[in-house]
A = this chain, B = another copy of it.
Amino acid sequence: MSLILKAVENIPLIEKGDDIAEIIFKNAPDIADKDIIVIASTIISKSLGLTFREDEIVPSAEAERIAALNGKDPRFVQAILDQSLEVFTETPFMLVRNTNGHVCINAGIDASNVGGDLLLTLPEKPDGHAAAIGKAIEQKSGKKISVIITDTNGRSFKEGQTNVAVGLYNIKPIRQWIGEKDLYGKVLEISEEAVVDEIAGAANLIMGEGGDGVPAVIVRGLDLYTDEAVSVTEMYRSKERDLIIQGLLELKNKK
Contact = CB atoms under 8 A, between A and B. Distances in A.
A213 interface: yes
Contacts of A245: 156-157
Contact of A188 (B192, B209, B249): B209
A89 interface: yes
Contact of A4 (B3, B161, B163, B210): B3
Given A183-B113, A201-B202, A160 B193 contact: yes
Interface in A157-190: 157-163, 173-174, 177, 180-186, 188-189
Contacts of A195: 205
Interface stretch (A50-58, A70-78, A124-132, A236-244): A236-244
Interface stretch (A5-13, A18-26, A59-67): A5-13
Contacts of A204: 193, 198
Nearest to A95: B243
A246 to B, nearest CB: 6
A194 interface: yes
Contacts of A214: 1
Given A2-B7, A3-B5, A251-B247, A198 B202 contact: yes
Oligomeric state, in copies: 2
A134 B116 CA distance: 46
Nearest to A177: B209
Interface residues on A, range: 35 or more
A59 to B, nearest CB: 22
Contacts of A184: 13, 113-116
Nearest to A214: B1
Given A161-B192, A202-B201, A205-B202, A210 B181 contact: yes
Nearest to A14: B183
Contact of A180 (B95, B197, B211, B249): B211
A234 to B, nearest CB: 8
Contacts of A68: none
A152 B177 CA distance: 13
A206 interface: yes
